[in-house]
Structure formats: C-alpha cells, structure tokens
Amino acid sequence: MSTPTDRTETTSPFGSVDEVVDALAEQGYIADRRLATTVFLLTRLEKPLLLEGPAGVGKTELAKMLALATGRRFLRLQCYEGQDETKALYEWDYGKQLLYTQMLREKIAEIVQDAPDIKTSVERIAAQDSVFFSEEFLAERPLMEAIRSDEPVVLLIDEVDRADEALEAVLLETLGEFQISVPEVGTFQAQNAPYVILTSNNTRDLAAALKRRCLHLFLDYPTAERELEIVRSKETGLPEATARELVEVVRGLRELELRKAPSISETIDWARTLAVLGVDELNSSVLSDTVSVVVKYDKDVTKALGALPKLVDPNAEIPDAHGHGHGHGHGHGHEDNGHSSGPAPATARIVHDDEEDGPDGRSVRAAKDEEGRHVGHYAAGVEQKEKARSGEIEPPKKRPVSPGQGTRSFGAGLGKRRAL
C-alpha cells in the first residue's frame, strides 16, 4: 500500500505544443494545434482530459497514440450500462480465498481447539481474517491497475457516458487525487500519475463534479484540409485529387442528418475500397455501389443514394423517377399522389423517419382516444329511433332469415355433434 508521499515527481515528455504535434504525427495521428495544446496541458498539469464529441472523430485513437508517443503502457476501461465498481476498481478473489481456507483447515482447527466456548473461537478466527483480505487476494481492475502500476501508464476510460451515474461517483476519488481507498486494506495512491483520457459521445450529460476534475475539449469532425491530411497519412493508395473529392463527398453526407454520420475511420476505409477497385475518378455510380462502407443504416443509405449525384456534380441531371427516359424533370402534377420527378437533391428538405414510415400510429390513436368521442354517434342513433317510433321516418327493415339458416349456425351444429 502506498501513501501520498510516495508519488514520484514526473515531467512532461513534451517540451512544447509543437513537439506534441510532431510526436503524434509520427504515430499517424494528425492533431490540430488546439488539440495538441490540450494534450500538452494534460502532461504538464497531471489532470485528466475529458473528450466529448460525435462517434468516430478520433477520441479513442488519441489515447492509443499518446501511449505510443510517450512510451507508456496502455490500459483501457470500456464503460457500459449496468457496470459497477467491481469491474472498474477491484474485487476480492473469492475463489482463491476459499481455496486457501480449505488448505489451512487444519491450522484453523489448531487455533480454536482449546477455546472454552464458541465466542472465543469466533474471536480467534476474526483476529485472523485480515489475512484473507489483504493485497494477496485483491483482484485488480483497470483503475486499480493504473494506480498501483510501477511504470507510467495511459488510462483510457472509454464512453463514460454509457455507464450509470453511480460509476461517475466512484471515479471522483481516482480522478481527483489519483488514489483508491479499499476499506479492508487502506488507501493506494499512484507513484506515477497516469495520463487519463475520458471519452463521451454525449448520449447523456455528465455530472458537474466529474467535469470539474478534468480538462475539457469538444472534438468535432475535422476541417476538409485536416481530414484530407489524415487520409493522405494512411497511404490508402487513392490519388490525391480523388481523395480530395472523396473528402468533400463525405462532408456532404454528414450534412444529411443521418442516424450515424460517417466517421473519419470510415472515410479512410472508403478511400481504401475505391483504391482496391482501381478508381481514379469519382462518379455517382461507383460511390452508390460502395456507399455501405460509410453508411450503416437502411434509411441512411436511401438518403445518401438520393444525394450522391449532386454531391459528385452539383450540375448533374437527376434521372426521372417514372422511368420514361426523357429526362425533362417536371412533376406531371403527381405530387399529391406521392410521385416525384426523381431523387431529391442534397439541398432538398430532409424527410424524417416518422414521415417515411407513414402516419404515426401513436398520434392517430391519441386523436381517437378523446373524451366523449362516442357521444355523437350514440345521440344520432337515439334520434333516429325516436323518429321511427313517431312515424317521421320509416323504421329500418329487418333482414329476412331463411328457415335453414338456424340449422347452419354454430350452435345448431354443436347440438348435432353432442347428439352423435
């Protein structure tokens, strides 16, 4: 067990922000100056860094590349719903404790053999229980491992927004003091302060107490020039001009309000896919055939296919949806019947999922479920009966029933089967 005075003084491996940019670039991670400045402060101030932003912008990759750039061991805590502290901090190795108990059964018998009563026996055994709740039986999890590590580490707490709020409270001590308290043993404090990076995809708001302990940076999709530089650094094999055009197409897809926008890594995958196919000039046909590399949901694919021709060539003529082949592009006045003259361009109004699926069943049911909705029908029926009795209108004619109809009924048939 370590104490607060055990921590050794550490210095930043980077002398300046420019060194951060160069060190990350050597590992294939292209960082802008704002991100590099935040990483430099992380290493100098020894404070955790919270990165928030959409999925696929390089938050997780930054932690991995920082570990490579600094030569530190990489540890990762992947967060998920329902996760508790035993999966993040530590837990007792109960199987090992039970095994040792069986092995030491004879020794335990010797301890209590001359005890005059049960109370004395229990007291003697209780005096030995600290043996079974010691560091020997402590099963480390990522947070504890990062604190107790003899060598410096980079700790990634990935997608912390997916975990329950209770886990955030568990993290406060670790992030604030780089220490973990174990009631049965004591407090462990890091001898080498870890570089801690937390990531969040903004699926929920994080507690203010957690954010207060961290440096904070919102990491968004990069500019076109930086994304092109990232694609270029991965040596995808796609020609420079084609890669530049592809980046612009991907940026156009991100503006379509898709369920999942294409990530940077998916841009790289698309570039590699097109390079394998030998594409040196983009067209809507080859992009439509391979768009599933970056678009993962069916409705997103539909939106993307409609937008790709305009994204490749803003002056492109959209084929007529009726299949006439004349390409004059007018609507024939069919708009009220749900027809259109072709796929909507990228600038067209985005049709939301609930509109694509037709009327919302919940809203229809809610409109019908109104107080007094049956009153009008009931009153009309009563009024009609009164007029019929007074002779104002003719009473409704009763439908004649044929003599054999009753014998064909379910009840009559049942009677015959019973008779059989």
Q: What is the largest CA-CA distance in the chain?
A: 110
Q: Which residue has the tokens 């698309």?
A: 270
The pairs formed by 319-325 with CB atoms below 8 angstroms and a separation of 24 or more are 319/343
pLDDT of residue 413: 46
Beta bridge partners of 179: 189
What residue type is 252 in one-letter code? G
pLDDT of residue 4: 45
Category of 36 on φ-ψ map: left (φ > 0), alpha (ψ -120 to 50) or beta: alpha
d(CA 318, CA 302): 15
Q: What is the Cβ-side half-sphere exposure of residue 307, based on CA atoms within 13 angstroms?
A: 26
Which has the closest alpha carbon to 300: 249, 357, 256? 256
DSSP, res 409: S
pLDDT of residue 168: 87
What residue type is 241 in one-letter code? A
Which has the closest alpha carbon to 253: 293, 216, 281, 193? 293
Contact 343, 321 (CB under 8 A): yes
Q: How many helices (H) and strands (E) does the chain have?
A: 19, 9
pLDDT of residue 301: 95
Contacts of 321 (CB under 8 A, 6+ apart): 339, 340, 341, 342, 343
pLDDT of residue 76: 95
φ and ψ of 85, to 5 deg: -65, -25
pTM of whole model > 0.75? no
d(CA 393, CA 380): 14
pLDDT of residue 417: 45
pLDDT of residue 159: 94
d(CA 286, CA 6): 61
Question: What is the three-class DSSP state of 155?
Answer: strand
pLDDT of residue 263: 93
pLDDT of residue 332: 43
DSSP, res 190: -
pLDDT of residue 27: 93
What residue type is 381 in one-letter code? G
Q: Splitting the chain (420 residues) into consecutive groups of 10 residues, what average pLDDT does each group show?
A: 48 91 94 95 94 93 96 94 77 65 67 74 65 67 88 94 86 87 78 93 90 94 93 93 96 93 94 95 94 94 94 71 42 42 40 43 48 48 63 61 49 45
d(CA 94, CA 113): 26
- Burial category of 179 from C-beta neighbours within 10 Å (exposed 0-12, middle 13-18, buried 19 and up): middle
